[in-house]
Each structure stands twice: as C-alpha cells, then as structure tokens.
Amino acid sequence: MVSRKRVFVTTSHGAGKDHKEKAKAFASEHGYDYVSRQKIEDISRLVNDAYVYVFSKNRILSVFHEGTELFFHPSVAKIRMLNIQHGQPDHLISSLSLDSTTTVLDTTLGLGTEALLIAAFLESGSVTALEKSEHVYNVVRIGLEYYPYRNRWMVEAASRIKLVRSSYKEYFADREDASYDVVYCDPMFEKPKMRSSSINALRPFASSHPPSESDIVQMKRIARKRVVFKVRETDRLFETLLSIGFEYERRTSNDIFFLVAENT
C-alpha cells in the first residue's frame, strides 16, 4: 500500500481572522489537517515527512516540503511581457503562432508563468491549463486568483485561464479530435538546469515523468493547428520528438528548443 504523507495547513504568525478562516476552509475542502500556528514551533522540522501549507498576507499560499517553499509569483511573466513590449521576441509566444481568438491547451501548468503570458495575447481566446501535482495545482490556483496584481493585463489574463487538476494522460482520453487550436507541453527536464531557481522550487512537488510517444500522438490528435514542445537537447524526449516529425522552431539558449508539429 502506498503511504500518503500528511498534509498540514496553518497560517503565518500573527495572521488575522480572515487568513485563519481561509486556511480552515481550505483544509476542510481537501481533507488536510488544520493546525493553529501557535502549535507549530518550527515548520522546518515537519517538512521532511509532511507537506505544510501556510496562508499569509505576503505570499497568499505557500507549501513547504523537503526544505523548499513553493508559492505563486508572476514576476517572470512580468519581465517577459516587458521584454515583448520593448520589441524583443519571446520564443514561446512566437512558436505558438497565436491570434486573439486562439484556444490553447497548456498541458503542464507548473508555476503558471507561461499560461499567464499566453493568456495575455488571447483577447477572445482562452487557456486551459492542466496540472497533475496536487500541491502545485493548489498553490497556483489560489495564487492566480488572489494575487494582488498591479498590471491590468495580468488581471485580464488570469481571468482567461481555466485550471484543471488532471494528468494530461487522463484528460486526453475524453477529448475529441481538434478540441484546441494549439497544444503546448513543457515537461520537467530530465537533467535539471541548476540555474533555474523558480523551476528548482517546483521540483520536490512536480511530476517528472516525460510524456510517452502515445501521449504525443494524443496531443497531435487534439490540436487543430499545432503542438509545441519546450525541450532540452540533452533529454531523450528531444530525439523522440524529432523522430516523429517535430521540427525546430526556436532555440532559447544553448540547449533549450521549441519544437513544433503542424497539423495544417
């Protein structure tokens, strides 16, 4: 039998009544254990054997596990949008070939950075974003909804994202052919890039199985126009994608590529 690690929910020290209420409601919705913060002396002593959620004013909702804290923050999306506004190309946005009505299935939500950026370009379109990991999904769902955005584009973009907690494997089974214009997949790299600090925070919580060839066939079936992958050249997936007809679209750094398969 697989033993499930315990999950505790608490608040930051000195949290107000509203944070306590939110934490209790969240714990009860998910069947986790609510613990008042006064009863937890040191979160770091709990987090090897458990996941600990903390509601706070600054970070809205964090989850701690194995010495790592995961919380939602749109700063990378903000920087990438500023670069685009200053005329620099964004390799993801160019590879997706969006127009304002495109419907996108982001099969790997992660921190939600790219879903947010994509949604900014879809005035009448939408992004459906899937996440398999329970804890990544929880943190990003609540973060996307309650983050105190200072930019109008982020508020609008966040409202165009529909989150689904599911593995793409199960999600694909119920989808008709050509259900979305574009399908995007950004799996965890097999060999981590240690410099990517935001993705490193995701690692203890994320699901890291790469997509199989049959998952990729399903992505092609569901996409009306194109399937786009972000992949590292050193990962086995890179060769698999090239062998089944994906082509180079963009190279972001020395060894990270956007590969595309067109359906039209």
Ligand X SMILES: C[S@@+](CC[C@H](N)C(=O)[O-])C[C@H]1O[C@@H](n2cnc3c(N)ncnc32)[C@H](O)[C@@H]1O
Which positions touch ligand X (CB under 6 A)?
A: 107-108, 110-114, 130-133, 136, 167-169, 186-188, 199, 202, 206-207, 209
- Phi-psi region at 186: left, alpha or beta (left = phi > 0; alpha = psi -120 to 50): beta
Tell me how far the alpha carbon of residue 191 is from its chain's centroid: 19
Shortest Å, Cβ 46 to ligand X: 22
Nearer to ligand X, 30 or 209 (CB): 209
Q: Are 130 and 109 in contact (CB under 8 A)?
A: yes
CB of 260 to ligand X, least distance (A): 16
Are 11 and 19 in contact by the 8 Å Cβ rule? The answer is yes
In the complex, what is the shortest distance from the CB of residue 136 to ligand X, in angstroms, rounded to a whole number? 4
Q: Which is nearer to ligand X, 16 or 192 (CB)?
A: 192
Phi, psi of 225 (to 5 degrees): -110, -55
CB-wise, 15 or 223, nearer to ligand X? Answer: 223
Nearer of residues 22 and 230 to ligand X, judged by Cβ: 230
Interatomic CA distance for residues 184 and 161, integer angstroms: 14
What span, in angstroms and rounded, lies between the C-alpha atoms of 218 and 220?
A: 5
Smallest distance from ligand X to CB 15, Å: 27
Please, which residue, 96 or 130, has the CB nearer to ligand X?
Answer: 130
Residues 176, 181, 186, CA angle at the centre, nearest 5°? 95
User: In the bound complex, what is the minimum distance in angstroms from residue 40's beta carbon to ligand X?
Assistant: 27
